[in-house]
Amino acid sequence: MSAQEFAPGLVIQHFAPPLQLSSFKAIAFDMDSTLISIECIDEIADAVGKKAEVAAITEAAMRGEITDFKDSLRRRVALLKGVPAEALQEVYDQRLKINPGAPELIHAAKAAGLQTLLVSGGFTFFADRVKARLGMHEAHSNTLEIEGGLLTGQVLGDIVDGEAKKQHLLALCARMGCDPKQSIAVGDGANDLPMMGVSGLSVAYHAKPKVREQAMVAIQTGGLDRVLELLR
């Protein structure tokens, strides 16, 4: 079934709506540019005048032009060496906005009995706060190393990349005893494609072309809750 515009700014392919929301058991979300309006790493870099340099790498990674996300993240984080840790709070307080429709979609999903998962190639400082703010069940992201109140330019532990996002979704489904096809995956960048590929409903939100082409749903205008137009 080729792509068709179900409603203005809402494109679907490979399925016929409506689907039953309660037939799904889990919904996984990317964070940066999906649940929230910014790429946190780009905004942190702005604190040291390196936003353009970091944002260029972010954009290339999200478009799928840089295939090694881990390497791209290490390169970007290295540019943040020496940034005061307070810059993270400033970004959260002054720049981070929850995207339209996110609270409504998460509320509807939870009301229908779905587990809500945040999986991000971004950072725990933001992901844990966004998880709490939106009342989500679980979050996995990367930890920035801080020493003496300054970022060291290093990430602690294993990096959450596209493969890790997929594995966290599969692990959640395994714990719940459900098929991954009973999950929904929502994202905007190339590193969201692996988890979208194992889900039963993949949703691209104001996404990069490569992601829009592969997703079953592409929200091109309006908020995240537009996916509810396809569910009952």
Model confidence over 169-192: pLDDT tens digits?
Answer: 999 999 999 999 999 999 999 999
pLDDT band for position 1 (50/70/90)? low
Q: Confirm whether 60 is domain-assigned.
A: no
Mean pLDDT of 99-127: 98
pLDDT band for position 67 (50/70/90)? confident
Q: Confirm whether 28 is domain-assigned.
A: yes
Q: What is the pLDDT of residues 81-100, one digit of tens each?
A: 999 999 999 999 999 999 99
What percentage of the chain exceeds 90 in pLDDT?
97
SS3 state at 146: strand
- The set of residues, in sequence order, having a beta carbon less than 8 Å from that of 126 and lying 6+ positions away, is 31, 36, 40, 88, 91, 92, 96, 120, 141
Q: What is the pLDDT of residues 6-60, one digit of tens each?
A: 999 999 999 999 999 999 999 999 999 999 999 999 999 998 899 999 999 999 9
Domain that holds residue 9: 4-38+98-230
The answer to whether the beta carbons of residues 91 and 123 sit under 8 Å apart is no
Taking residue 178's Cβ as centre, other Cβ atoms within 10 Å add up to 16
Task: Report yes or no on whether pTM surpasses 0.95.
Answer: yes
Average pLDDT, the chain: 97
Q: Confirm whether 75 is domain-assigned.
A: no
Q: Confirm whether 87 is domain-assigned.
A: no
Burial (0-12, 13-18, 19+ Cβ within 10 Å), 164: buried
Q: Confirm whether 173 is domain-assigned.
A: yes
Q: What is the pLDDT of residues 161-174, one digit of tens each?
A: 999 999 999 999 99
Q: Which amino acids are annotated catalytic?
A: 30, 32
The answer to whether the beta carbons of residues 40 and 126 sit under 8 Å apart is yes
Token representation of residue 62 = 């999200």
CATH number for 130: 3.40.50.1000
| pLDDT of 228 strictly over 80 | yes
Mean pLDDT of 153-158: 97
Q: Where are the alpha helices (H) located in the chain, listed in sequence order?
A: 40-46, 51-62, 69-78, 86-94, 102-111, 124-134, 162-176, 193-198, 209-214
Q: How many domains, in total, are found in the chain?
A: 1
d(CA 28, CA 138): 9
Q: Confirm whether 140 is domain-assigned.
A: yes
Q: Confirm whether 56 is domain-assigned.
A: no
Q: Confirm whether 112 is domain-assigned.
A: yes
Nearest-CA neighbor of 62 among 100, 102, 32, 17? 32
d(CA 31, CA 192): 10
pLDDT of residue 31: 98
Beta-carbon-side half-sphere exposure of residue 136 (alpha carbons within 13 Å): 27
